[in-house]
Amino acid sequence: MAKRKLSKQQKRRIDSLQKSRIKNEQQDNAALDESNTLTARVISHHGRQLFVETEDLSKIKCKIRQNLGDIACGDYVLVQQALDTDGQKKSGESQYVVVAIKPRKNLLVKTGFAGAVKPVAANIGQLVIVTALKPKPNPYLIDRYLIAAENLPADALIIINKVDLLDDETKKIVDDLTALYQGIGYRVISASIKQNTGLDEIAEALSNTTSILVGLSGVGKSSIVKAILPKEEIKIGETSEATGEGKHTTTVSALYHLKDNGIIIDSPGVRDFTPINNSIDEITYGFKDVRQFSGGCKFSNCSHTNEPGCAMKQAVAEGKLNEQRFNNYLRMVQEFNEKE
Ligand SMILES: Nc1nc2c(ncn2[C@@H]2O[C@H](COP(=O)(O)OP(=O)(O)O)[C@@H](O)[C@H]2O)c(=O)[nH]1
Ligand SMILES: [Mg+2]
Ligand SMILES: [Zn+2]
């Protein structure tokens, strides 16, 4: 772009804009009581509306200092009490301000409208991949979620729900899925929320960590959350809004406490999260059984399809690598390349 000379008037305007911005920032800083900082965790975030929870579990409504960047549910933040310019603590609503986001362990993002990246949840310990007999389990989708978990990084847990619907055909599906993913080193839990089975095991697997539940609509995520939440948390969870279709949806991100220090982050954004692959490396890393064989091929640019000396194909032939997982890996890479 050609450089354009600014008119005197334009210069003056920019100067005065900059000065007023600096003045605003100084006022912002002066209005914060440095002695009154506390660490808290974001439990809900909707637009400029933010709630945090302190260590003693009291909930505080906060404003967000400008230019902090995106804040996500699950973030640990520094909160300060805002003061009036004359030094008096502000009374009434929103007297607290989030002034900093602490370094994150990880951040789950999704692509929104026009490819914009939106934060979904921060500091996640575990991705809980929920499948069911109805709708039928989709191993390719499970693998997609596993890639996301491996790359975050976070632990992964697979729940197969609705085992009350088991018949001879679906029993084989459940047995095969369980053997496959347990064989790779993931924990798999069969459950029926309808018949109250598997709930203790799920509650135990969700203790002492922050989990998010992902999976297709209808597999039973909400039912699971409801079944394991203590009563008082369910009440909070009922802060919902009726949509046009007569369904109730929670409109704000939310963080819930389970027994034994378990935490679930559950929000519409989390629920409809579908993983995105950013690179071939990320895909390879995301298949933890496949990745052990990467680098072992004769050709460094091996596509693992026709080349001689392919370590992955050899591993499949020797039964060291599951063929279905390997095929899903190749399909994922191919789909990524086609999109590029
Ligand atoms: N048969 C059966 N149905 C279930 C079970 N768990 C949930 N459901 C039903 O599956 C449907 C979808 O459940 P929901 O929790 O809303 O799924 P979500 O979309 O993943 O949150 C509801 O009609 C539930 O009653 C189960 O263990 N067995
Ligand atoms: Mg639901
Ligand atoms: Zn190869």
Superfamily of domain 280-339: Probable gtpase engc; domain 3 (1.10.40.50)
How confident is the model at residue 14, as a pLDDT? 52
**Pocket of ligand 1 contains residue 213 by CB under 6 Å:** no
Q: Report CA(147)–ligand 3 centroid distance (Å).
A: 19
**Domain regions of the chain by residue span:** 24-101, 107-271, 280-339
Tens of each residue's pLDDT in the chain, 340 residues:
444 455 566 556 556 555 554 454 444 444 555 567 899 999 988 777 789 999 888 888 898 988 888 899 999 999 998 776 666 665 555 488 999 999 999 999 887 777 788 888 999 999 999 999 999 999 999 999 999 999 999 999 999 999 999 999 899 999 999 999 999 999 999 999 999 999 999 999 999 999 999 999 899 998 999 999 887 676 554 444 444 444 444 434 479 999 899 999 987 777 667 788 889 999 999 999 999 999 999 999 999 999 999 999 999 999 999 999 999 999 999 999 998 8
How confident is the model at residue 90, as a pLDDT? 56
Inter-CA distances, 10 with 16, 21, 254, Å: 10, 17, 46
How confident is the model at residue 165, as a pLDDT? 96
**Pocket of ligand 1 contains residue 193 by CB under 6 Å:** yes
**Pocket of ligand 1 contains residue 200 by CB under 6 Å:** no
How confident is the model at residue 307, as a pLDDT? 95
Q: Report CA(319)–ligand 1 centroid distance (Å).
A: 37
Cα within 13 Å of Cα(78), Cβ side? 13
- Ion ligand 2 residues within 5 Å by Cβ: 221-222
Pocket mutation for ligand 1, best pick of 131, 193, 196 (most atoms within 8 Å of C-beta): 193
**Pocket of ligand 1 contains residue 304 by CB under 6 Å:** no
The atom of ligand 1 lying closest to the CA of 225 is 15
**Pocket of ligand 1 contains residue 277 by CB under 6 Å:** no
**Pocket of ligand 1 contains residue 226 by CB under 6 Å:** no
Q: Report CA(246)–ligand 3 centroid distance (Å).
A: 52
How confident is the model at residue 128, as a pLDDT? 97
* End-to-end Cα, the chain, rounded Å: 29
With 0-12 CB in 10 A as exposed, 13-18 as middle and 19+ as buried, what is 149?
buried
CATH of domain 24-101: 2.40.50.140
How confident is the model at residue 47, as a pLDDT? 73
Architecture per CATH, domain 107-271, reads as 3-Layer(aba) Sandwich (3.40)
**Pocket of ligand 1 contains residue 268 by CB under 6 Å:** no
Q: Report CA(274)–ligand 2 centroid distance (Å).
A: 15
Q: Report CA(226)–ligand 2 centroid distance (Å).
A: 10
How confident is the model at residue 257, as a pLDDT? 92
Predicted TM-score (pTM) above 0.85:
no
| Axis-axis angle for helices 168-184, 139-151 (nearest 10) | 20
**Pocket of ligand 1 contains residue 275 by CB under 6 Å:** no
Q: Report CA(300)–ligand 3 centroid distance (Å).
A: 8
The atom of ligand 1 lying closest to the CA of 161 is 27
The encoded tokens of residue 48 equal 């400029």
Q: Report CA(208)–ligand 1 centroid distance (Å).
A: 26
How confident is the model at residue 242, as a pLDDT? 43
Q: Beta strands 117-122 and 126-132: pairing type?
A: unpaired
Distance CA(265)–CA(256), nearest Å, equals: 6
How confident is the model at residue 194, as a pLDDT? 97
